[in-house]
Structure 1
């Protein structure tokens, strides 16, 4: 088993305040990815989980953060107003999405409880809610390791806590399959950062080796989580059967990338196969997968359509403080829930300094985004939203192909 380097954590300045303390700056840096203490072998016994608490569930909840208003202010790349759109959410969506959020919990302890806090609602609105224009969005609450659990309280984290975090997600997925899918509906798995690391384990253990479940998979969006493939290949590495997507007509495949606004440095945290956050590296030469959501053809270039909520992330939270530093657009009195700036960034996968990342560049006056907390982390906090328009359109096309294949 090969070893991997761990990311270094640097101080981060909070807008409008003194420099964050060392303790919290490390928590900020670690909050956007899974620490090594989260990784466990996929072959470990199935953990015991609590009853599923749903953050988003269109069947049992009258309202949830994954179904906000759909009104959308369309901007040109430079941020000038164009028009307001009112896309319609389908009355009977034809496929499902299962979303696992990244580390966002500011709970004062090493492990988040099974409760819903403002930061979970905000991240669901930011990353998952737009998919409700295409699919039914299910998102469970799980007892993730908190910011403190990854850093200052890491010594208090027990193996049982780690298993509970994964066990909650596993139990929720099996609950979803049994109650709401019943072997009939296509499903897209969506994760970012800690969510992606958790889904990598879930896919290996519960989907990759099970043909019946693989046939339900429309695709898996495993974003910002260093998914591994054999070097120069679309398969191998993390999964035996699941390939990287190379066409929007392909189903049962994986879309994975991490964004940088400039070529990644030698100490890049994402796109770097040597930074595994404790997950074991497979044998043989491997690299981190990079799929361009604007053009899935290997080496293809494309234009990204960012979509963001018009309101800021939950105030008083660590992630809220970080997102204010990104440089994403804010509009006074937008008159709409969403901001959308079509074709504002060019994107293409590049290899540099041992990393394989999605390099994005602003066009036609679009704002250059800032790496947070530093250059080694790139645009990690913007991974999902900078391409959200592309991702929603992409899974719609894949789901249409999946349904056509099922009718044959």
Structure 2
């Protein structure tokens, strides 16, 4: 049986599939405008409790899949990873999450920190801040300023977290920036505000894994999509969907093939897939899927093993069978090995 956080996630996905889009959104929309809510107390990043992951304690980012033979290598890692988790707050009670909600924090840790942030625990020390994340509806609020205001408030927290990290934790070490979905939206802004404008800090950027959101190839003045598996100071981006689907609004966005780490449109066969990790985190599935870049999307063959959920993206009937939730898990081993390889390439480039 699935653990309770994952049962909740699957229930949400079921609603997104079965209910009409307008009905689904009405369940997720906060009842009042953003300005009518008093935001929850903001985080104090001097407190360990305001971090979902820190390398100095036991947490979900230390996890490795059961009986995988992998191990947490943060104690000896030469780089840092600043990871921003995706949306785990879906309720309409307010526009932004309250960091004092223990149930939500446990959900975040057992789902996204364990299944996504852990992919980097062989490459760097993982720092994952908690933040007043915007509720899921914020991304669909096109009629009022409330959704963007909620996202802006979330980014205020993350900007403060990154500043605290730089002053108190980094100590001049190389940095990987990583996120997914809402986390990637905020990570994209962090690169603008810190790395694109600061050559000294930019020299410490190993790479940014900007997965599960919209990033243009020319998003930055100085940071480009990674051209190969060992490029540094660059970014990786992709959104996974079943082969055969198209969505014109995504055509302009950057895509990296996570099986070859190149930008070409050749199909990378499943034999290059070092292993996906199922949602129960209990197995590694070698050769779970192939990958091909197609007009702003990453086409994949739907995997035969269970545990890699897909769904009809709400409000986007043209884009069927998104594997958004499985963006990391489908390519878990490839990302894990690539992050470690890029850190080594960064170190060699600085000698």
TM over 0.5, shorter chain = yes
Say which SS state the counterpart of residue 200 (structure 1) adopts.
helix
Correspondent of 2:210 among 202, 206, 222 = 222
TM score, norm. by length of structure 2: 0.78
State whether structure 2 residue 208 is matched by structure 1 residue 213.
Answer: no
Query: Cα offset for 1:14?
Result: 2.4
Determine the structure 1 residue equivalent to 2:116: 127
User: For residues 220 and 100 of structure 1, what CA distance do their matches in structure 2 show?
Assistant: 11
Say which SS state the counterpart of residue 76 (structure 2) adopts.
coil
State whether structure 2 residue 3 is matched by structure 1 residue 63.
Answer: no
Per-residue CA shift, 1:71-109, capped at 9, x if unaligned? Answer: 53xxxxxxxxxxx43223223111111111111113421
Moved more, 170-179 or 368-377: 368-377
Correspondent of 2:299 among 348, 354, 359 = 359
Structure with the largest fraction of helix: 2
Q: What is the Cα-based RMSD across aligned positions, in Å?
A: 3.3
State whether structure 2 residue 163 is matched by structure 1 residue 174.
Answer: yes
Do the aligned partners of residues 147 and 23 (structure 1) sit closer, same or farther apart at CA in structure 2, a change above 3 Å counting? farther
Correspondent of 1:110 among 80, 87, 95 = 95
Per-residue CA shift, 1:123-154, capped at 9, x if unaligned? Answer: 11111123213321110011111135556898
Kindly indicate whether the alpha-carbon contact (under 8 Å) linking 2:68 and 2:283 is maintained by their aligned counterparts in 1. no
Do the aligned partners of residues 393 and 29 (structure 1) sit closer, same or farther apart at CA in structure 2, a change above 3 Å counting? farther
Determine the structure 2 residue equivalent to 1:202: 190
Query: Cα offset for 1:158?
Result: 7.8
User: For residues 28 and 267 of structure 2, what CA distance do their matches in structure 1 show?
Assistant: 30
Determine the structure 2 residue equivalent to 1:323: none
Query: Cα offset for 1:24?
Result: 6.7
Structure 2: gaps spanning 5 or more residues: 1-11, 35-40
Do the aligned partners of residues 394 and 157 (structure 1) sit closer, same or farther apart at CA in structure 2, a change above 3 Å counting? same
Structure 1: gaps spanning 5 or more residues: 1-11, 31-36, 38-47, 73-83, 230-235, 274-286, 312-336
User: For residues 256 and 17 of structure 2, what CA distance do their matches in structure 1 show?
Assistant: 39
Determine the structure 2 residue equivalent to 1:95: 79
* Alignment of structure 1 residues 309-388 onto 2, 5 Å: 311=280, 337-351=281-295, 356-361=296-301, 366=305, 371-374=310-313, 376=319, 378-388=322-332
Determine the structure 2 residue equivalent to 1:192: 180
Do the aligned partners of residues 304 and 157 (structure 1) sit closer, same or farther apart at CA in structure 2, a change above 3 Å counting? same
Query: Cα offset for 1:305?
Result: 3.8
Do the aligned partners of residues 24 and 385 (structure 1) sit closer, same or farther apart at CA in structure 2, a change above 3 Å counting? farther
Say how many residue pairs are matched: 311
Per-residue CA shift, 1:280-301, capped at 9, x if unaligned? Answer: xxxxxxx211110111233244
Say which SS state the counterpart of residue 188 (structure 1) adopts.
strand
State whether structure 2 residue 51 is matched by structure 1 residue 51.
Answer: no
User: For residues 227 and 340 of structure 2, what CA distance do their matches in structure 1 show?
Assistant: 16
Query: Cα offset for 1:309?
Result: 5.5
State whether structure 2 residue 238 is matched by structure 1 residue 251.
Answer: no
Kindly indicate whether the alpha-carbon contact (under 8 Å) linking 1:65 and 1:125 is maintained by their aligned counterparts in 2. yes
Structure with the largest fraction of strand: 1
Kindly indicate whether the alpha-carbon contact (under 8 Å) linking 1:102 and 1:191 is maintained by their aligned counterparts in 2. yes
